[in-house]
Structures are given as C-alpha cells and as structure tokens.
C-alpha cells in the first residue's frame, strides 16, 4: 500500500479509524523488515534483475528467508502494536461489538483491501522463492487474514474496542477474493484498488478526519474510494484490447462527520451521508510488458492504486455525473 507509507503519526481517536493507522503502520514496518531480511538471508547478487527474478525451482534459502522474515517481522509488529496501543487501555473478557453501521461500511472495504493485498504479497514472495502453488495459496495468501485475525483478538480483549464480526467477514472476503481467482483462473483478473481526493469535511472535524493530507488519506472516509478493477482482455481473450486496459467499479460515501447519524445527533450535528457509485477506466500496471524485474516489482506495488481517469458517478443526490478526471 504505497499511500500507507506516508503515515508516521499515531493519534488516538475512534475505533475504526484507529484500525486504519494501526494496520498500515504495521504493514510499513513489516514489509520493510522482510525485504531487508530476505535480501540479506538469500545473499542476493548485485544484479537486481537476477535477485528479483522468481526462481524456477524451489530455492530453499529464499523460502526460509521469506518464512523467517515474515514471522519475525509480524511478531515484532504485533508486540509493537500491543505496546503502542493496547497496554494503555484496560483489559476485558473477550467480546464483540457491532460497528457494521459505521461510516457507510467504508472501513469494511478497507479490511477487504488490506487482507487481499497482504495475501497477494505473501503469495508472490513464496512464488519468488520457487515454492509450489499449493504452498503459495495455503501459507502465502492467508498471511493478511492471519495477521488481521490476531489484531481482532487484541481488540476483543480490549475494553476500549472489541472484536467485530463485520471486520472478520471482510477479512475473510479479501483472502477469498485472491484465492478463488487463483483456483478458478490461475491469475488475478479482478484487483481491489484505492483512490483518494481531499474533501471539505476534514476541515470541519480535523481531529477525527485529519488535519494534514497524510492524515486525511487514512482518516477521511469521505475522500476515499475503493474499486474492483476488472482486466478486460483476461475475460474477452480478444487480440485487439490492450492487455493493460481495465474497467473499474468504485464505491465511496460522503457527508460523514461521524460514524453514523445517531452519533452525529448526540454531538449536535445533523449530517446527510450518502453512497456513491462509480464506473471508470483503469490500468493494470502488472500487464505492462517490460524486461526489467525492478519495474515489474514497482508496478506490482503501485497496482494497489486506481489510476485517475474519466469517470461516471451515480448517487441519490446528484443522479448521474461525469468527471473528466476522478481521483
């Protein structure tokens, strides 16, 4: 998640928004450590193209480096999260909360997006080591689900928060989206993506929705859009559609200062949240042909983000609206 790498702030605020900060700071720390560890463990040559090339057969030092690096990095990250967040709040018996009516379910899409891409990276790292497809799906693609399940357990034992059934369902859905495509098509034809634009709402409640751009990217749900980006040529199998051309369907919400209307009324605010739906063109960066392994890796990272493009929008307030370029 390239946009998550910008974040280095640790405020305390509403449960759902805390999740965004906790997870993406954890992702930043974990994958930086894993990359450095695996690079050293596998004794990478100076040629980046050779190092980044997936192994045709099982490379045991690489696979060991991946497993050990992931275990250590995620373990340290979970300990760090416990020290930074949970230790300052009272413990409780394990319990669930119902937050499914919060933020027009935008936070749930964040869970799906996170588990999908964490699982994708886990599977791709095992592919790079030459591990079998079965091993990639069992131990790689479930990386995000396992990690976020532990976070849910932490939440469940915290009096301040609580485990969420909606979060768990979204986490499972993200992993299932990746695994099902590999089993059905042996490729990823549908990719969850993210985009963001600044809104007027953040300035009205900056302590919750963000005072700076870096904070708003993670905290202002009004400016976030989650997409399912479909690779056209993968479905049509024709020879004239560019391999990199995608059609994307997006979802977002607007008009939200608080998680739901009841919470807003308690604080003397009347808000009018509404859902927005989008249809847009997109680019699958992983389908762009290049011989550079470095560029392939870079494209894989940035393929988590939706490319700004002409877009059609529909919502109950504005009906159909066209954007020349939508971020």
Q: Which element (helix H / strand E) includes 215?
A: helix 213-219
**What pLDDT, on a 0 to 100 scale, did the predictor assign at position 26?**
52
Closest CA to 12 of 98, 73, 87, 96: 87
Return mean pLDDT, the chain: 87
pTM of the model: 0.88
**What pLDDT, on a 0 to 100 scale, did the predictor assign at position 254?**
97
- The alpha carbon of residue 219 and the mean position of all alpha carbons in its chain are separated, in whole angstroms, by 14
**What pLDDT, on a 0 to 100 scale, did the predictor assign at position 17?**
44
Beta strands in 175-318 (DSSP E): 190-196, 224-231, 245-254, 274-283, 309-315
User: What is d(CA 293, CA 277) in angstroms, rounded to the nearest whole number?
Assistant: 36
pLDDT in tens, 281-320: 999 999 999 999 899 999 999 999 999 999 999 999 999 9
- The alpha carbon of residue 36 and the mean position of all alpha carbons in its chain are separated, in whole angstroms, by 22
Sole residue written with tokens 């997936």: 54
Tell me the two tokens of residue 141.
């693609």
Work out the number of other CB atoms within 10 angstroms of the CB of residue 123: 25
Closest CA to 2 of 298, 322, 308, 242: 298
Strand order in the sheet with 274-283: 190-196, 224-231, 245-254, 274-283, 309-315, 319-326
CA separation, residue 212 to residues 12, 168, 238, 277, 318 (Å): 15, 30, 45, 26, 28
> Do 137 and 179 touch, CB atoms closer than 8 A?
yes
Tell me the two tokens of residue 96.
């669930």
Q: Which element (helix H / strand E) includes 96?
A: strand 96-97
> Do 230 and 248 touch, CB atoms closer than 8 A?
yes
User: What is d(CA 137, CA 21) in angstroms, rounded to the nearest whole number?
Assistant: 27
**What pLDDT, on a 0 to 100 scale, did the predictor assign at position 220?**
97
Residue-wise pLDDT tens for the chain (327 aa)? 333 333 333 333 344 444 555 555 555 455 545 554 555 555 444 466 678 889 999 999 999 999 998 888 888 888 888 887 788 889 999 999 999 999 999 999 999 999 999 999 999 999 999 999 999 999 999 999 999 999 999 999 999 899 999 999 999 999 999 999 999 999 999 999 999 999 999 999 999 999 999 999 999 999 999 999 999 999 999 999 999 999 999 999 999 999 999 999 999 999 999 999 999 999 999 999 999 989 999 999 999 999 999 999 999 999 999 999 999
> Do 213 and 196 touch, CB atoms closer than 8 A?
no
**What pLDDT, on a 0 to 100 scale, did the predictor assign at position 4?**
35
Residues present in the chain in total: 327
**What pLDDT, on a 0 to 100 scale, did the predictor assign at position 13?**
36
User: What is d(CA 226, CA 194) in angstroms, rounded to the nearest whole number?
Assistant: 5
User: What is d(CA 140, CA 130) in angstroms, rounded to the nearest whole number?
Assistant: 12
DSSP reduced 3-state for 274: strand
């Amino acid at each position: 998640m390239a946009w998550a790498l910008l974040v280095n702030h640790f405020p305390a605020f509403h449960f759902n928004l805390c999740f965004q900060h906790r997870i993406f700071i954890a992702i930043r720390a974990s994958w930086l450590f894993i990359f450095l560890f695996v690079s050293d463990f596998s004794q990478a040559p100076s040629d980046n193209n050779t190092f980044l090339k997936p192994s045709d057969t099982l490379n045991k030092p690489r696979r060991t480096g991946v497993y050990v690096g992931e275990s250590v990095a995620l373990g340290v990250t979970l300990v760090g999260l416990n020290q930074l967040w949970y230790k300052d709040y009272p413990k409780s018996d394990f319990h669930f909360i119902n937050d499914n009516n919060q933020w027009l379910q935008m936070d749930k899409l964040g869970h799906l997006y996170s588990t999908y891409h964490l699982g994708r990276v886990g599977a791709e790292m095992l592919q790079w080591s030459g591990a079998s497809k079965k091993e990639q799906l069992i131990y790689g693609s479930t990386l995000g689900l396992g990690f976020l399940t532990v976070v849910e357990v932490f939440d469940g034992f915290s009096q301040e928060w609580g485990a969420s059934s909606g979060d768990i369902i979204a986490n499972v859905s993200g992993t299932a989206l990746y695994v099902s495509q590999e089993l059905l098509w042996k490729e990823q034809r549908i990719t969850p993506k993210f985009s963001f634009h600044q809104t007027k709402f953040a300035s009205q409640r900056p302590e919750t929705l963000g005072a700076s751009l870096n904070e708003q990217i993670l905290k202002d749900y009004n400016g976030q859009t989650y997409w399912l980006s479909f690779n056209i040529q993968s479905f049509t199998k024709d020879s004239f559609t560019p391999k990199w051309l995608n059609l994307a369907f997006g979802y977002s919400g607007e008009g939200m200062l608080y998680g739901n209307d009841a919470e807003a009324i308690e604080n003397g605010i009347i808000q009018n949240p509404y859902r927005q739906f989008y249809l847009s063109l997109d680019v699958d960066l992983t389908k762009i042909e290049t011989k550079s392994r470095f560029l392939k890796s870079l494209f894989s990272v940035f393929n988590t983000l939706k490319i700004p493009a002409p877009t059609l929008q529909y919502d109950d307030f504005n009906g159909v609206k066209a954007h020349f370029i939508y971020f």
